[in-house]
Chain A
Amino acid sequence: MQVSEVLKVEGLKMYYRMGKTYVKAVDDISFEVQKGKCLGLAGESGSGKTSIAATIMRILPKNGQIISGNIYLDGQDILKLSEEEFRKIRWVKVAMVPQASMNAFDPVFTIGDQIMEAILTHKNMSKDEAISRVKELFQLVGIDPSRINNYPHEFSGGMKQRAAIAMALANNPDIIILDEPTTALDVIVQAQVLSLLRNLKQKLNISMILITHDLSIIADLCDSVAVMYAGKIVEYGDIYKIYKNPKHPYTQGLLGAFPNIRAKKQKLIGIPGAPPNLANPPPGCRFHPRCPYDFDRCKVEEPKLKEVEPGHFVACHLYDKGDQNA
């Protein structure tokens, strides 16, 4: 079987204009997501994860400018589409569960009506057909279809999150982007939602991008991971390789900052300092002021993403002796 990428992002740069300066939120990002696979976008607040999602979905604020790059969805460069053309694709081919979307349901309409609206806007079908589609979706995400006429306040947090996922799935998209889908949920409900997402991925063979700061959630669900720092991808590739053998000092730091419940107690090692201001990021490697291994070259030359083993890419001068590929 041939693997095909559903989504391919190449050299994407998206800056926010702030007066006379630019905040380089997405700075030369490339990645791809294959059919039925899940890519985790990991990183701390302000690293640019959500800005990537907003760029793909074309829901950028007014000051967000795409400087360069290509985004191919099923082989088609969606950045070349007009607004009108893209509207036919949004929510049909690519859908999103935005952060805190469980609280974005309109309180005066039933959940069923709101999901139906998402279907009828894009598909030519009768109301009865739409209702049975919503019931089907409810079943798919584990909500009793009899609750189609409930209002948002009658749903618990976990059910609202399931409903938000159902809404994203309404038009059978090829890929869905999930932005912090479990952040506001308690740990048991989080585990329920994660197991739902695992099942959906398998059953529908759908591609996913999972945005989160929590590396353990990515380990739970994803096939590949892109670790972001200050608008850049610093490490990218197969999840097993990266978790087994994290190369970038930032990835190592992030993994070391999580206490593992199954391991012996050991001192947590944080990363000193704080993420930089993206209006004026540090020269060279953006991580160098916080890096325990930084040397002269890091301060002046920006490291490129290079393959250190098959399917494992790192942007760090430590693994880039001279100019040769390792």
Chain B
Amino acid sequence: MIKVIKMPEPLIKAINVKKYFPVRMSFIRSLKGEEQKWVKAVDDISIDIYPKEILGLAGESGSGKTTFGRTLIRLIEPTAGSVIYKNVDIFKLKGSELKNYRRKLQIIFQDPYDSINPRLTIRDVVAEGLLVNKLVSKDKVDEAVASALEDVKLTPPEEFINRYPHELSGGQRQRVAIARALVLKPDFIVADEPVSMLDVSIRAEVLNVMLDLKEKYGITFLFITHDLALAKHMSDRIAVMYLGKLVELADSEKLIDNPLHPYTQALIAAIPIPDPTAKKAEVKIKGEIPSPINPPSGCRFHPRCPYVFDRCKVEEPKLKEVEPGHFVACHLYDKP
């Protein structure tokens, strides 16, 4: 379990969350009695997320970051575990009760060209959640939409409210997606790679809007990204995932300046620096992320780890606090 000293009550408390997806099997194979295989996308993750923080969730493709993010707000039904939000386990909620919580837990998807209905005007896109949840009376809808658009710097709002998504740039669309989440006055937003589809020059405005919203409304974010430089820029703390497991968690500056897990070290060393005089990245680790269907025994990183020793091959390391607020799951830091 994670213990934190002198921290406020967590807003979201994930406890032993697991999500396994069944691997499709042919009828013949199931008749033969072959064992059902599972993709262990999220395998026993516990983490506390504190009010008004941006928690960066980093990792390569296939590490389970998106599945974990979606499971946290129950867009995906979990296999096991619980998520406590305001003393309630949201995995146990049903019907209208769940609907009330959904409003508070929102998401921004990766691709703003896919996640916004092209047939709706910006007003209808942003207002839909308001109307579904009956949050404002019909005559107040425009006002609420306009104020959300202002918050995401789509100003003046009257210039955008009647337009269609195809008339907007990628960055503007992504800000519409943020406004759509924002009108519901959420406590927690999962931002799943919100700028990876956008051109470099327009990323900054989307990121700056998110930072502003955190300050203005105290919204808590889970910021999912594969880019550690971006995670450092945006987040208060960073969690690193590898093959469905959490391998390291710390304050963002600390994690980048003093990474402990060999995987985090490799990730940071691999990032190219926009400066031709910088030392070129040397890649110490070989190969690519293995399949989550049949993950390596012991520590899942051991086949690629430059510091592997016998214990790593048999015993799975637990996430342990090695310095205040700095957690790592690695036998190197766990002298028995």
Contacts and interface: CB of A to CB of B under 8 A. Distances in A.
A240 B280 CA distance: 14
A243 B275 contact: yes
Interface stretch (B4-12, B30-38, B198-206, B323-331): B198-206
Interface string B218-262: 000000001111101100000000000000000001001000000
A191 to B, nearest CB: 4
Nearest to A191: B270
Contacts of A265: 232-233, 253
B246 to A, nearest CB: 18
A188 B285 contact: yes
A217 interface: yes
A157 interface: yes
A220 B283 CA distance: 14
Q: Which of A191, A214, A257 has its CB near the most chain B CB atoms (within 10 A)?
A: A191
Interface residues of B, number: 44
B270 A270 contact: no
Given A267-B208, A270-B204, A260 B272 contact: no
Tell which of B268, B285, B288, B289 has the most Cβ of chain A within 10 Å.
B288
A112 to B, nearest CB: 21
Interface stretch (A53-61, A115-123, A192-200): A192-200
A261 B205 contact: no
A213 B61 CA distance: 20
A195 B283 contact: yes
B273 A260 contact: yes
Interface stretch (A5-13, A101-109, A165-173, A271-279): A271-279
A284 interface: no
B276 A219 contact: yes
Contacts of B270: 187-188, 190-191
A270 B203 contact: yes
B98 interface: no
Interface in A174-225: 186-192, 194-195, 198, 213-217, 219-220, 222
Given A270-B203, A272-B205, A258 B283 contact: no
B202 A215 contact: no
B203 A254 contact: no
Nearest to A159: B288
B60 A188 contact: yes
A195 B284 CA distance: 11
B267 A158 contact: no
Contacts of A243: 274-277
Given A187-B270, A261-B273, A157 B203 contact: no
Given A191-B271, A261-B271, A268-B208, 9 more contacts: A158-B288, A186-B61, A213-B200, A216-B271, A216-B273, A258-B229, A260-B275, A261-B229, A265-B233
B254 to A, nearest CB: 13
A45 B199 contact: yes
A260 B274 contact: yes
Interface of B: 60-61, 169-172, 199-205, 207-208, 226-230, 232-233, 253, 256, 266-278, 280-283, 285, 288-289
A251 to B, nearest CB: 11
A287 B289 CA distance: 42
Interface centre among A188, A217, A240, A254 (most CB of B within 10 A): A188
Contacts of B278: 219, 262
A6 B84 CA distance: 63
A83 to B, nearest CB: 35
Given A44-B200, A186-B288, A220 B229 contact: no
Interface of A: 44-45, 156-158, 186-192, 194-195, 198, 213-217, 219-220, 222, 239-240, 243, 253-262, 265, 267-272, 274-275
Contacts of B266: 188
A214 B199 CA distance: 10
B95 to A, nearest CB: 41
A268 B276 contact: no
Given A44-B199, A217-B272, A268 B233 contact: yes
A270 B201 contact: yes
A44 B60 contact: no
Contact of A44 (B201, B230, B277): B201
A158 B288 CA distance: 8
Contacts of A216: 271-275
12 contacts: A187-B228, A187-B270, A190-B270, A191-B283, A220-B272, A220-B280, A239-B276, A257-B203, A258-B229, A258-B274, A261-B273, A271-B202
A254 B274 CA distance: 10
Contact of A156 (B268, B275, B277, B288): B288
B274 A219 contact: yes
Contacts of B170: 274
A275 B274 CA distance: 22
Contact of A191 (B61, B272, B277, B289): B272
Contacts of B285: 188
Contact of B283 (A188, A213, A269, A271): A188
Given A188-B60, A188-B267, A259-B229, A219 B205 contact: no
Contacts of B275: 216, 219, 243, 260
Nearest to B281: A191
Given A219-B272, A261-B268, A274 B202 contact: yes
A156 B289 CA distance: 9
Q: Which of B60, B276, B289 has the most CB of A within 10 A?
A: B276
B280 to A, nearest CB: 6
B268 A257 contact: no
Given A188-B267, A191-B272, A257-B201, A274 B60 contact: no
A219 B283 CA distance: 17
Contacts of B276: 219-220, 222, 239-240, 243
A199 B318 CA distance: 39
A214 B270 CA distance: 14
A275 B283 CA distance: 36
A156 B288 CA distance: 8
Contacts of B272: 190-191, 194, 214, 216-217, 219-220
